[in-house]
Amino acid sequence: MAGAVKGSRQTRMVVVPYRPWLPAILVAAFVCAVLLAAVGGLYWGYFGASREHIEVGAENVLLSDALLQAQEQVAELRAQLAMSGQDTLLDQRAEAEVQGTINSLRGRIRQLEQDVSFYRQVMAPESAEPGLIIENLRLAAAAAPASYRYHAFVRVAGAGDERVRGTFRVTVHGQQNGAPRSYELAQLSHVPAEISDILEFRYFQALEGEFELPPGFMPEEVLIHAQSSEPGRYTTERRFSWTVEEI
């Protein structure tokens, strides 16, 4: 090569086109790449967050549905439990009512059996000594407080079909203020003038009425005294313990 010094190291030269705008383009491309990467990252993050939000929202919907179903099941179970409790209560009430009816019928049957026995004795031929007989006193609570109804029979033996006339007296014995006390039936009635003490019958007579016990009086027994003036003079009395029946 002309102008070169012999024996010196030669540097190879490359001739390239002159492009003064290329660095600016490279810088702009780099900046765009960075911006695209940033935007892509943001978009990916937003997309991921949105997808997670959607998944969480869907899961919340499922949980809400499950919670609603559980609440409905709890409400249904509570209703069934309440109904079961009501059924049990109704069964208990029905059983109590049935048992009360059975007890009432049993008591009524006992009364009817006693009545049948009594009527058989009245209508059967008498072989016993003639006289008055007092039977079957029953006491039952009346509607008013401390009030009671009584019911008894008086019949006669050995009188045939003759009419019996006489009188009777009912006395209640007990305790009041720690001391023995007795009350005649006329003393315990609201209307003493309406209390009858007359016996007049052919086969038997029912003695019945209502009376009220005074405050503080504790009854113990009832004494029924009866006497006839015709067809013969008979006197009898009988004591009954104070027992109130459920009628």
For 189-198, how does the pLDDT look when each residue is reduced to its tens digit (9 = 90+)?
876 656 778 9
Give the H or E element holding residue 131: strand 131-141
Strand partners, 238: 224
More confident call, 244 vs 95: 244
pLDDT value, residue 189: 82
Burial 52-72 (b: 16+ CB within 10 A, else e): eeeeeeeeeeeeeeeeeeeee
pLDDT value, residue 240: 96
pLDDT, one tens digit per residue, over 174-220 is: 999 999 999 998 889 876 656 778 999 888 899 998 999 999 999 99
Q: DSSP 3-state helix, strand, coil percentages of the chain (rounded to 5)?
A: 45, 30, 25
Position 16 pLDDT exceeds 70: no
Position 59 pLDDT exceeds 80: no
Q: In angstroms, rounded to a whole number, what is the distance separating the alpha carbons of residues 69 and 67?
A: 5
Q: Model confidence at 48, in pLDDT bands (50, 70, 90)?
A: low
Position 231 pLDDT exceeds 80: yes
Question: How many residues comprise the chain?
Answer: 247
Q: In angstroms, rounded to a whole number, what is the distance separating the alpha carbons of residues 13 and 39?
A: 43
Q: Report the 10 Å Cβ neighbour count for 247.
A: 13
pLDDT value, residue 156: 85
Of 147, 145, 176, 159, the closest CA to residue 234 belongs to 159
Per-residue tokens: 176? 């009041």
pLDDT value, residue 96: 75
Residue type, 247: I
For residue 11, the 8-state DSSP code is P
Q: Model confidence at 235, in pLDDT bands (50, 70, 90)?
A: very high
Per-residue tokens: 162? 């003759």
> Quick one: average pLDDT of 220-231?
93
pLDDT, one tens digit per residue, over 135-174 is: 889 999 998 889 999 999 898 887 667 889 999 999 999 9
pLDDT, one tens digit per residue, over 79-123 is: 776 776 666 666 677 677 767 777 776 766 766 666 666 556 555
* CB-based contact 161:208 (threshold 8 Å): no
* CB-based contact 221:237 (threshold 8 Å): no
Output the CA–CA distances (angstroms, integers) from residue 27 to 16, 21, 24, 41, in the order listed.
Answer: 20, 10, 5, 21
pLDDT value, residue 143: 87
More confident call, 167 vs 32: 167
Q: In angstroms, rounded to a whole number, what is the distance separating the alpha carbons of residues 230 and 168?
A: 14
Per-residue tokens: 197? 């003490």
